[in-house]
Amino acid sequence: MTDHFSMKTLYNGESLPLAAVPLVKREDFLQGIINAVDRGWRISAMFGDGGADGVTLYAVLSAKSDGVLGVMRSRCGDSFPSITPYCPQANLFEREIAEQFGVKPEGHPWFKPVRFHRPFRPGRDAWGRDASERILPGVTDFYRVEGEEVHEVAVGPVHAGIIEPGHFRFQCHGEEVFHLEIALGFQHRGIEAGLIGGPGPRTVHQMETGAGDSTVAHTWAYCLIMEALAGRRIPAKGEVIRAIALELERLANHTGDLGAIAGDTGYLPTSSYCGRIRGDFLNMSAVLCGSRFSRGLLRPGGTGFDCSLKQADDLLKRLAAGRADLFNAVDLIWTTPSVMGRLENTGTVSIGTATELALTGPAARACGMAMDVRQDFPYGIYQMSQIPVVTAKSGDVYARTLVRWLEADKSLDFVEEQLRQLPGGPHRAQIAPPAAERIAVALTEGWRGEVCHVAITDEVGRFSRYKIVDPSFHNWPGLAMALRGQQISDFPLCNKSFNLSYCGFDL
């Protein structure tokens, strides 16, 4: 450990007194981020906080090599120099800060709203929009390629399939895509604004539904925050059940994605089988807690439900059957040349691009980035029992498919191992209310990648700011880059191989 770039370091799932977070000069803050990113740190969260009396910028960076997180903050006036030109991964964070707090990143190369909502601070609009003006998602200027033979294709927000709304603008030359720009925000529900003043009875449900397909990952991050603020560890059994739930969520979603990728190539057998097997994995979550999406399972202090030996036996039987079915269904992909022909060399993202954009999860690992919160910043039971990190090299749709399959395989092993050695004892402990004037940071590895939650409490222990970063927030720009120079007809396949969340991004 050499340099912390003026940050205070802490471990995943820890909290600090707010006063311990270094308050640095604005220039040192921004330069510190650039320098740290140059040395291999990544921006896990960067956000503003404050009200009428000014805005404070916070940065939470993570260093994989040391397994530590660094936090720092800086006062900020009405604007700050944009660091996006030197550090592309700051792009969306800076635009988000501008949209939420009306603070302008000067010199931002593509300064547009992220979610199309009113600023948290009334009257401080970064784009000078009038309060009476309606703000509609997707109504903005888009990047245009000029030329006689260039044509523009606009897709969404209403799609032919039943999927979430998002708007995609392609600049095409015939079938070739020059540029893709993605506009989101149609699902914005104001979750971050709604969390201020919490935790309350609603808070845990807001966490569970921030990105509904990543219920466990987000709720676990929230639980880590609450436990860090209360300064208490939870019973071993609770930790194990949480990990089982998280891996079942990963299994269900990876299975669904494998089927959907096959479906988009027009290959029906894997598509149909995986659709059913995904249901089998969802039903395993229901065995634990009665909800196929693990709603109500994770609660601060432990879990809302116990796992009896009988349930564990039932799950083991279902897992064995699910594993056999999944292997058969996915094996068809690797043995069918026409499918492989579609997957290989489609939607390639280089490791350089992936690193610059700070992609996360399977999308990053498919480019050869060996990063996984479960290994790099272990939390819960992953501190004791590790899951190997799976990577691939080619960065194309094939690599993302392969990584999903190998991860599913590792998750199956892990869940079986954990079910065989379920610890005894209670599954939940009472935890104290959050301590006052502290900051807590939690990272978890959802099936899409790194989920980051940061909470700051006020003098009575209420959230004065709660920041959620869904992995999709990092990965949407990766999808846009994957399409460069590709056939426009391959977009659905590339999109499915990323399978990003719209609501997790829009919050």
Partner 1 sequence: MTDILIHLLLTIFMPPLLLGVIGKTKAAFAGRVGAPFLQPYYDLAKLIRKGSVFSDTTTWIFRAGPIVTLAATLVAALLIPLGSHNSPVSFAGDMVLFAYLFALGRFFTTTAALDTGSSFEGMGAAREATFACLAEPTLFFTLMTLSRLSGSLSLTPMLTNLTVSLWFRAGAALILLVGGMFIVLLAENCRIPFDDPTTHLELTMIHEVMVLDHSGPAFAYILYGAAVKLFVIGAFFIHIALPIKTGNPLLDWGVFILSMLGLAVAIGVVESIMARLRLLRIPQLLVAACILSAFSMLLILR
**Which spans of this chain sit near partner 1 (rule: CB under 8 A)?**
151-155, 159-161, 174-175, 262, 264-269, 271-273, 276, 336, 338-339, 341-342, 346, 487-493
By beta-carbon proximity to partner 1, the closer residue of 119 and 492 is 492
Question: Both tokens of residue 191?
Answer: 């979750």
By beta-carbon proximity to partner 1, the closer residue of 269 and 368 is 269
By beta-carbon proximity to partner 1, the closer residue of 376 and 490 is 490
CB of 172 to partner 1, least distance (A): 8
Question: Both tokens of residue 112?
Answer: 């547009």
| CA-based radius of gyration for the chain | 22
- CA–chain centroid gap for 172, Å, is 29
CB of 321 to partner 1, least distance (A): 15
By beta-carbon proximity to partner 1, the closer residue of 276 and 393 is 276
The torsion defined by the Cα of 90, 94, 95 and 99, in degrees rounded to 10, comes to 150
By beta-carbon proximity to partner 1, the closer residue of 263 and 362 is 263
By beta-carbon proximity to partner 1, the closer residue of 154 and 320 is 154
Question: Both tokens of residue 393?
Answer: 């090299």
CB 70 within 8 A of CB 8: yes
The length of the chain in residues reads 507
For 371, residues 6+ apart whose C-beta sits below 8 A from its C-beta are 64, 360, 364, 365, 389, 450
Tracing tokens 């096959």 back to the chain, one arrives at 262
CB of 487 to partner 1, least distance (A): 6
For 505, residues 6+ apart whose C-beta sits below 8 A from its C-beta are 115, 184, 187, 470, 472, 473, 476
CB of 505 to partner 1, least distance (A): 21
CB of 170 to partner 1, least distance (A): 8
CB of 34 to partner 1, least distance (A): 38
- Strand 79-81, strand 104-106: pairing: parallel
Beta strand residue intervals within 314-407, DSSP E: none
Please report how the helices 471-482 and 91-101 are oriented relative to each other, as an axis angle in degrees rounded to 10: 130
By beta-carbon proximity to partner 1, the closer residue of 325 and 458 is 325
By beta-carbon proximity to partner 1, the closer residue of 408 and 494 is 494
Cα–Cα distance measured from residue 409 to residue 401, given in angstroms and rounded to the nearest whole number: 13
By beta-carbon proximity to partner 1, the closer residue of 225 and 339 is 339
CB of 362 to partner 1, least distance (A): 21
Q: Which amino acid is at 389?
A: V
CB 447 within 8 A of CB 377: no
Question: Both tokens of residue 354?
Answer: 């992936």
C-alpha distance from residue 318 to each of 190, 280, 303, 314, 416 (Å): 39, 8, 22, 6, 10
CB of 429 to partner 1, least distance (A): 46
- CA–chain centroid gap for 274, Å, is 24
- Strand 450-457, strand 463-469: pairing: antiparallel
Burial of residue 502 (number of CB atoms within 10 Å: 0-12, 13-18, 19+): buried
CB of 272 to partner 1, least distance (A): 3
The torsion defined by the Cα of 103, 109, 114 and 120, in degrees rounded to 10, comes to 0
By beta-carbon proximity to partner 1, the closer residue of 19 and 158 is 158
CB of 328 to partner 1, least distance (A): 11
